Structure 1
């Protein structure tokens, strides 16, 4: 499901299959407006129609969806329909694959809520230096003053996309000295993170890096991913188990 700016719901179905040359392919086979209410019954009707139109009802192995309750209910309807007509393998037990990337996203969003104040400080700092040419010029002067040789500047995130928040932190940390120098020379710059907040940002970035790597790998479209996710999810688990013993209570809360 995808919702437009006009609050209209659209249903998108992407088919992943191996062609006659044993090459993995993916094609959008349906992208249509979903009538209200956006419930399991209406979704099921639309999915079933798409499968019939493409004549692939008997060629479905699994559906990968996020963990929304409506998706679980819709797949339940679909499973019963296909099983009753003997069109799916193993009584449909493998039909519903829960999207691992979405599970990781839920974990990260929950953790970032505990670190909002630190992330906001970094975000406001990046926004401040990017808000005008004059401020960027002054920031560049601070970069030169502290002797940094970075080619790129910090990137600003989209708060609703945690992967962009990770990239913002990753790109901002090398400029810590420049931001600290800016604090000393610019009385209007009031968002400078403290030393402890910078250290916190480093810890957050380390944690998010594991999630970012895992999500990027298991979101690939040109290669199979079902055999890849376990190692990266296990790596995330190892890092989280290590950080839960941190002396910093905020990191533990995350």
Structure 2
């Protein structure tokens, strides 16, 4: 074969040979295909790019390294040139848009303002867009955040202006620094039947938390938001100072159902002395494992050996009764692993015996319904007041059934429920909400008298509403309102006659018709099967 003095400078020649004697085509070493040479490597590079991508990438890397002057005189890419240009002017559309997203990150994700001073965050933003200048902490605190707050407040005010009635929930709480705060949240349904909830304010409440101090603070907040005339009721815990403050302001008070459940469970646990001793032993067990890394590691090891779920033990929290339930549940689940670990570590005195274990299992059975109800009532996306009476009835029924099965804790729960929920059906907002809920109607009421009282008051309210509407209609009548329909359709004449007959109904008739459209079903009591 004739030879040719060809200078194979390009890295692409690694995968090709001269091919035939005419030198017009080259041979691909990878697939054997012949490629037209044409005196340059363009076709060969194209062939690798289309059919042998990995080899093409390798050639490109070598070509860039072999290119003369690449280390000193390489031309920057368009993106690099863009990044090397000047910063965004303050107030430019792009800078403003990024700052808005930064504020959203801080407010929605509850990030500290100091995040803008963190080196990692600054490098992250620089990599995303080097032209953006991160606002200073001072600028955010003095300008950007106050503006965002005012915009959000104006939007919430505009939304609440569409509401006919507003219910507030409020509570006192203490920060980790020991400072007292009060939070106020509004809840209402707009004209499109959408439920809204907005935290109106969280503010410091120094000094003694008397009814006067709480009432003054609430009045300030309500006046600031211009909603005083729209407040239908206020939901708080059962604290005497909170109840007195709401009544002092002249608003209807509704006790927090979830807080009442907390008090019921806490008081019942205090009454059960035997269970109280077992819970103290459980706390000692948890304290031992939480303060000893050796014990904690041993427990994990035994969990694996026994093929038990590798769950951590749960410590109860004073302010959350259901944490006691979760603690008991986890100890029962991991009892075998806990007992084995304690014995191997020489702490047999902490072991929970079978009698104690049976008490814990009974406690789980008694508290399970209360845990389910607590989760059910803690929803934020739908109205829950109509569920209070049905859930109360079901709780008392479940506890009564368990108490007849020698469950002492269930018996205490029945007593506490009977004491704290004795007049629940006499609470008009709760009773009428249940009655008007098409899922329940009169079903959950234990007392027919309570339901009838709620219904009678509701009828009176509807009569008043109908009378007000009738006055407005009469005031707005004109001679043209009595004219005969212009078209000759028989059904149009019928509709006109029907409308006139409905106008002749009294307010009392309308109210009773509306109530009858929601008939009462048979009720069920605590002792029902």
What is the TM-score when the length of structure 1 is the normalising length?
0.83
Q: Does 1:241 align with 2:436?
A: no
How many residue pairs get aligned? The number is 239
Q: Deviations over 1:166-204 (max 9, x none)?
A: 111112211122223234433134311111111111111
State how 1:1-254 maps to structure 2 within 5 Å: 1-5=172-176, 7-79=178-250, 95-113=252-270, 114=272, 115-145=275-305, 147-247=306-406, 252=411
Worse overlay, 70-79 or 236-245: 236-245
Q: Name stretches of at least 5 consecutive residues in structure 2 with no aligned partner.
A: 1-171, 414-529
> Which runs of 5 or more structure 1 residues have no equivalent in the other structure?
80-91
Distance 1:248 1:208 in 2: 11
Task: Give the aligned CA root-mean-square deviation in angstroms.
Answer: 2.3
Structure 2 distance, partners of 1:160, 1:52, is: 32
Q: Distance in 2 between matches of 1:157 and 1:124?
A: 12
What per-residue deviation string (whole Å, max 9, x for no partner) do you get for residues 100-136 of structure 1?
Answer: 1111100111122233211122222233233333212
Aligned-residue offset at 1:233 = 2.2
Give per-residue Cα distances to partners, 1:37-75, cap 9 Å, x unaligned. 321122112111211111111111110011111122112
Counterpart residue number, 1:82: none
Distance in 1 of aligned mates of 2:262 and 2:313: 23
54-63 vs 165-174, greater mean Cα deviation: 165-174
With over 3 angstroms needed to count, the CA separation of the structure-2 counterparts of 1:130 and 1:3, relative to structure 1, is closer
| SS of residue in 1 equivalent to 2:351 | coil
2:334 is paired with a residue whose SS is helix
User: 3-state SS of the aligned residue for 1:62?
Assistant: strand
- Structure label with greater radius of gyration: 2
